[in-house]
Chains A and B, each alone.
Chain A
């Protein structure tokens, strides 16, 4: 098998810690999705197992994807970059087509094919980071030239960003932007260019915050959620009401109360609060530790990658998971403004779980070529 992939680089076993951490987080996620969704699924759909079943199916699909990509030479992915970008663009536009796009809670984030719905933004994130890694690892561009180096990546990012923002899904758009910025940073562009990008995006960010008055209020509510406990502060307060009673050891798996219509989205965006309530500080810090382990191994793969493409790709995948996890936990603990984003590998997420696991498959594949 190894001989087939490359002649001049000898392959190793895939990184065991990444595999182990991933499988642990996914299995743990299935348990927590069941625990947190049981009541609302029973009340809303008359089927307590609805989200459990869904999560299990997506996890199986995701693991299949992971297995596939861990055995698929990552360097061949370069060939698919343009196809993936175009497909992403097409799907991002398709959500706005009535009949194809599915509207839930006044947001058009999903497309449905038969009984299956997926978020195009999940594919778009991966496609974009693939593109960024592929483009920035090209030998014929000079990173110190802005227009040659980061600009094309920023242009595509900008396009996707706006399309995702229109759904609207600010959280995903921001997490995606952060991931791409990390790739650009890791690619070694001069720091002054980073400053330039920041300066350019500042007016746009300000505009985004001020254009919808509720956004600013909601953003700042995490500083004092009790100032408006029934509206802007509601989600954070409910989250704290889950974490606090959890204490050190938690109230016990399945015995949380806050998932019973107090927490918004207890099985996705706020699943970490349920973990905190049922498994306590021991549970939450363990989860954080697992993510840290995953990040450590991810960066290690990036450092040890045999080529620039592999290195940037590993950086991007690790950053994607890390950014999402840290933002999610930051929101749930009331440490940063509320943005709707789920906890990778754990939250009930459907297509996002599939793409995250597939990405980890790529990461595992890169790890096989570590020096």
Chain B
């Protein structure tokens, strides 16, 4: 038998060849390993480290926003966000199908997120509690929840345009936006080693940088004043249905804004439901033609320049001619104010009178004053979006332009500019820089920054300011501002009625901005309020009848809230007596103007364009500020009338009211009306007899 036959030369050679291949392969792999583990190791180490280390943001608690007394206006609460850890979700299709309807997300979008090869992925942030609960009930593996801060505004619409609102992570509007850096603080960071599922490795490296809490804002706004202001605005919105209202309440001594709002506003808790134009703070962003309230600037300039003499006579013929152009007074239709003095020029808001004052000051000087009072420039308020307004340039300012400027036409201003100018008259002549943030404090309560009252410049002397205030007081006691009068207080004010300018630069017929600006107490001004009502759709279009009563309502409540005592001496002054003018047959506008100048208040009853009756009758002597009842009717309401509600009226009042309407009364009993037949609001022919039962309060008890 042949030994060693196995390995023929071929086989031997092939086995050696195979071993050679193995050696080569091992050698190649060793080189490859050397390349990976030594040559490019640094690069791979950095990438691996990057994958291993997770950085998680620790969201810094956002600062809160408080009013001047520390009442919360904007705070942060927790809300739930949903996360998924894709590696832990086995049936991704099923999970996507179940979650899609709850999260209101597309199934395909969800599936893509659930299929990502990452530690964790947000499915949806800041969902509702109900949605979170529904998801919890599904008990899906790999679905987690985290708490994230969500901004909330406890008072909803209150001061919303000033405060602004938050997007998902940062302030998008208002103070939330303006003070983003202060409020947001600095996020902290946790870095830690994690495994492939994004979970922290217990013994791994970790590093924690704590977050720096955001700072709190303490505003100059007083929540209660803001509330009063917005409530009154809301009431007027309902009653008169104007396009909008702007109000600013300010402390004229410091320039601190106490309340500021424009309507229509929005609720920052769900800002997206409102049109974008509601978000802006219209009292500082919008500009408009100021009209008569601007006359105060002309007045102050004239006094400062020594061109205003209160008792100097002036004749208003209803219009005046400037450089060949006829410029009318608002009393033109009834022949002008006639022979008056310059005090009455202001009280009656006489345009030719102011043109004369402007001419005396000279146009360039007038412009200097206007600019000194802060018009045509930003006030520097610490809110966003402030408008500038437009004045005539010195080159444009011809005699006609100068003339219209004296009574606030042909220029545009922001409500805030108007407020700051009048504040200068209230505080002794200082133009202040307005501000809304009083203090910024850190989370420990330490003051980080404090805004102090800041004088921009002195505009007029203290004497001039006092004289303007004196005349503004007269406007309220016996001029067009009579409807703003508050018993027991000394008020200074001025009405304004400006025709609106359309997009084409022309006046819009029948649309006015009705305004009132005033402050109290006149002897020591603490609160200044400016109201501008844009084009009411209901009722009359006079500042004295729309804005002045609003001012009265607001100021009365604010004075009471601030505990400002009445100036006792006014009560002892015997009221001035005036004659009641004959109003029957006049238009509503004419009658309103007439009563304004007479210092009487108006109350309209019924509707229609024609004045059917008035009480007291023409020629009666009544105390100043007496309310004149005007009954309206119209051509269409001749034969049938609505029965008025008479409950609570005396027999005499009831009889008068029914008389104006052409109805007759059959009264029984005495005292106050308790019932009537037909019922109020029923439609009856004229001359119908209305049965009214009167009862004295005492008798009612006995009747039972």
Contacts and interface: CB of A to CB of B under 8 A. Distances in A.
Interface of A: 8, 39, 182, 185-188, 230-231, 234, 238, 240-248, 257-258, 260-263, 276, 280-281, 284-285, 288-289, 291-292, 295-296, 299, 302-303, 305-308, 310-311, 315, 319, 322, 326, 329-330, 333-335, 371
Contacts of B11: 186-188, 311
A237 B52 CA distance: 13
A195 B466 CA distance: 116
Contact of A261 (B15, B18, B28, B87): B87
A197 to B, nearest CB: 15
- Of A257, A296, A303, A308, chain B has the most CB atoms within 10 Å of the CB of A257
Contact of B8 (A188, A291, A322): A188
Contact of A311 (B7, B32, B51, B116): B7
Contacts of B37: 243-244, 246-248, 276, 280-281, 284
A217 to B, nearest CB: 16
A330 B196 CA distance: 24
Contacts of A242: 48
Contacts of A234: 117
A306 B14 contact: no
A262 B196 contact: yes
B48 A288 contact: no
A63 B19 CA distance: 26
Contacts of A299: 15-16, 18-19, 22
A333 B19 contact: no
A319 B17 CA distance: 13
Given A231-B117, A247-B38, A335-B28, 14 more contacts: A188-B11, A230-B116, A240-B36, A245-B45, A245-B48, A247-B41, A248-B37, A257-B48, A281-B37, A292-B26, A295-B19, A311-B15, A326-B25, A333-B33
A157 B56 CA distance: 55
A288 B26 contact: yes
Contact of A241 (B12, B18, B28, B44): B44
Contacts of A263: 196
B683 interface: no
Contacts of A306: 6
A260 B29 CA distance: 26
B45 A335 contact: no
A238 B29 CA distance: 18
B25 A333 contact: no
A158 B241 CA distance: 91
Contacts of B33: 243, 276, 281, 284-285, 288, 333
Interface of A is mostly: helix
A182 B18 contact: yes
Nearest to A298: B19
B195 interface: yes
Contacts of A281: 33-34, 37-38
Given A230-B116, A261-B196, A243 B36 contact: yes
Interface of B is mostly: helix
Contacts of A291: 26
A292 B22 CA distance: 8
Given A322-B22, A330-B29, A186 B14 contact: yes
16 contacts: A186-B11, A234-B117, A245-B41, A245-B45, A246-B37, A257-B48, A257-B193, A260-B201, A288-B30, A295-B26, A299-B15, A303-B7, A315-B15, A322-B22, A333-B29, A371-B4
A120 B612 CA distance: 112
B168 interface: no
Nearest to B51: A241
B10 interface: yes
B43 interface: yes
A39 B116 CA distance: 23
Contacts of A261: 87, 195-197
B32 A335 contact: yes
Contacts of B22: 292, 295, 299, 322, 326
A324 to B, nearest CB: 12
Contact of B29 (A182, A186, A310, A335): A335
Interface string B574-603: 000000000000000000000000000000
Nearest to B197: A261
Contacts of B52: 257, 262
A8 B4 CA distance: 13
B40 interface: yes
Contact of A245 (B18, B34, B44): B44
Interface in B61-98: 87
A257 B201 contact: yes
A39 B200 CA distance: 13
